[in-house]
Amino acid sequence: MNSDNGRRLSLHIFFFPFLAHGHITPMLHLARLFSSRGVKATVITTPLNASLIPHAGDVHIQTIDFPCPQKTVLPQGCENLHSVPSQDLIPAFLKATAMLREPLEQALSQCAPHCIVADMMFPWVTRSAAEFGIPVLVFNGSGFFTLCAVECMSLYRPYEDVSTDWDAFVIPSLPGEIKMTRTEVGHYVMRNEEPETMKFFEASEESNAESYGVLVNSFHELEHDYVEYCRKVLGKKAWHVGPVSLCRRHTDGKRERESEESNAKHECLKWLDTREPSSVVYVCFGSLTSFPKSQLREIAKGLEASGHQFIWAVATSTKSNNNRDEDEEEWLPDEGYEKRIEGKGLIIRGWAPQVQILEHKATGAFMTHCGWNSMLESVCAGVPMITWPNYADQFYNEKLVTSVLKIGVGVGAKNWSRLERERIEWEAIEKAVRRMMEGEEAEEMRKKAKELACKASQAMQEGGSSLSSLDSLIHHLISSSHH
């Protein structure tokens, strides 16, 4: 460590994650990373979300109450995006999170941290913190490619120059000749969301612009052209500090390791131990995306028809309940399905130990919805992907995997929609699995994915690109801190 180490110890940073698993986990990792560099790190969240963080290590957890959800249409105790009972209530939930402003401001005035790292889903934080003279770093939940692509889309609006939704256009100015169709572009990018949601995204953009800078959970070697484009062409102050999940390899994660050991007893990991290297397809669509039963049947049929081994984490309506769904036959193609796939496929009803599955040598491919955390976890494990985006930033992430990095193949999903799921037939699923698991093209993608995994690991070592970027940021914060 360098000479400002003594002062690092007095640097105190608040970390303020959005209220959803996919946001809390990387923010906690980020806090641990700062803490491992000598910074005092405090995660600020609501009691229910704090209880989802069992192993905080050196990171302090401070709770603030989510005031008066009764004043909203949300049910009692709805403090996390996962407990929002239906997609239609998501705008109400986004709006309700603004009620955290007052308790956050109280915590800021009491503790006076030097800086706050806030999720980009809290667009009001930059102004709140400014009242106390505290700089905000926005934690962008996605990568540089998406950040740049979305900015180019809003600057040049190329989707207005095509005559149908299905005509491809190239994203202007963005390196790599990236093609998209209007069907793949998020409604918020085309600015045709309902007014409340649109207001939210606009506020988020403004807050990003007013912030001290952006923290990106990515590494230079993964998307170098876009890191450079972001800084030099778009002129953003952005630091690459990831993959933050690799902080496990830095911090003294004793309690985390203990939990991993108990997780290691998960039957799917024992099952993987008995399989050949790179022979199993892992299928999981993150923590928020679920499919209708008719689509689950297509997935089941497609996986079986591919003839390849698989682990499938199924998000049915009973995802949080590990018991068998009474009407499960409705989402399996027929009654004998599970018997037939015995030894070949494993279905997990509930939460899968995803990182451990991906890191297992028997895992050869990951069918994913292209959530940024899932994608990075796959990259870190050197596992190529079968991509099936649905909404949010997922179509951009897919382009990065398939067109730029060339470590994945798509199932053919084309329709961005938060509410409706486009149907993908079992034949397309079978074809994508075979393409990813058989032949030279698949081998080539697997090799590239493994090379990227080595680079991810190097980026997070002493002197590696991400740790150096983090150190330079800490140095910046120390030199600009006035108290």
Residue with smaller CB distance to ligand UDP, 374 or 402: 374
Run of H or E residues at 243: none
307: left (phi over 0), alpha (psi -120 to 50) or beta: left
- In the complex, least distance from residue 361 CB atom to ligand UDP, rounded to whole angstroms: 18
- In the complex, least distance from residue 128 CB atom to ligand UDP, rounded to whole angstroms: 25
Find out whether 52 and 82 touch, Cβ atoms under 8 Å.
Answer: no
- In the complex, least distance from residue 427 CB atom to ligand UDP, rounded to whole angstroms: 26
Does 243 sit behind a cis peptide bond, omega within 30 degrees of 0 on the bond before it?
yes
Contacts with ligand UDP, residue ranges (CB under 6 A): 21-22, 25, 284, 286-289, 313, 351-352, 354-355, 371-374, 377
Place of tokens 């397809």: 281
Which of 389-425 are b and which e, b meaning 16 or more Cβ less than 10 Å from the residue's Cβ?
bbbbbbbbbbbbbbbbbebbbbbebebbebeebeebe
CA distances to 150, 283, 433 from 444, rounded to whole Å, are 30, 21, 15
Residue with smaller CB distance to ligand UDP, 365 or 477: 365
C-alpha–C-alpha distance, residues 120 and 259, integer Å: 30
Residue with smaller CB distance to ligand UDP, 393 or 471: 393
In the 8-state DSSP scheme, what is residue 32?
H
Residue with smaller CB distance to ligand UDP, 208 or 289: 289
- In the complex, least distance from residue 246 CB atom to ligand UDP, rounded to whole angstroms: 13
Find out whether 37 and 2 touch, Cβ atoms under 8 Å.
Answer: no
C-alpha–C-alpha distance, residues 166 and 32, integer Å: 44
- In the complex, least distance from residue 163 CB atom to ligand UDP, rounded to whole angstroms: 33
Find out whether 371 and 388 touch, Cβ atoms under 8 Å.
Answer: no
Question: In degrees rounded to 5, what are phi and psi of residue 139?
Answer: -90, 115
Length of the chain: 483
Residue with smaller CB distance to ligand UDP, 298 or 377: 377
Q: How many helices (H) and strands (E) does the chain have?
A: 19, 15
Cβ count near 294 (within 10 Å): 11
Cβ count near 191 (within 10 Å): 11
Residue with smaller CB distance to ligand UDP, 125 or 288: 288
Active site residues: 23, 119
Residue with smaller CB distance to ligand UDP, 53 or 305: 53
- In the complex, least distance from residue 390 CB atom to ligand UDP, rounded to whole angstroms: 9
| Complete edge-to-edge strand list for the sheet that includes strand 363-368 | 345-349, 309-314, 280-284, 363-368, 385-387, 408-410
C-alpha–C-alpha distance, residues 277 and 453, integer Å: 16
Residue with smaller CB distance to ligand UDP, 126 or 378: 378
C-alpha–C-alpha distance, residues 351 and 335, integer Å: 24
C-alpha–C-alpha distance, residues 283 and 312, integer Å: 5
- In the complex, least distance from residue 313 CB atom to ligand UDP, rounded to whole angstroms: 4
- In the complex, least distance from residue 127 CB atom to ligand UDP, rounded to whole angstroms: 26
- In the complex, least distance from residue 461 CB atom to ligand UDP, rounded to whole angstroms: 22
Residue with smaller CB distance to ligand UDP, 313 or 401: 313
Residue type, 4: D
How much is the CA Rg of the chain, to the nearest whole Å?
22
Find out whether 219 and 456 touch, Cβ atoms under 8 Å.
Answer: yes
C-alpha–C-alpha distance, residues 57 and 45, integer Å: 16
Find out whether 432 and 412 touch, Cβ atoms under 8 Å.
Answer: yes
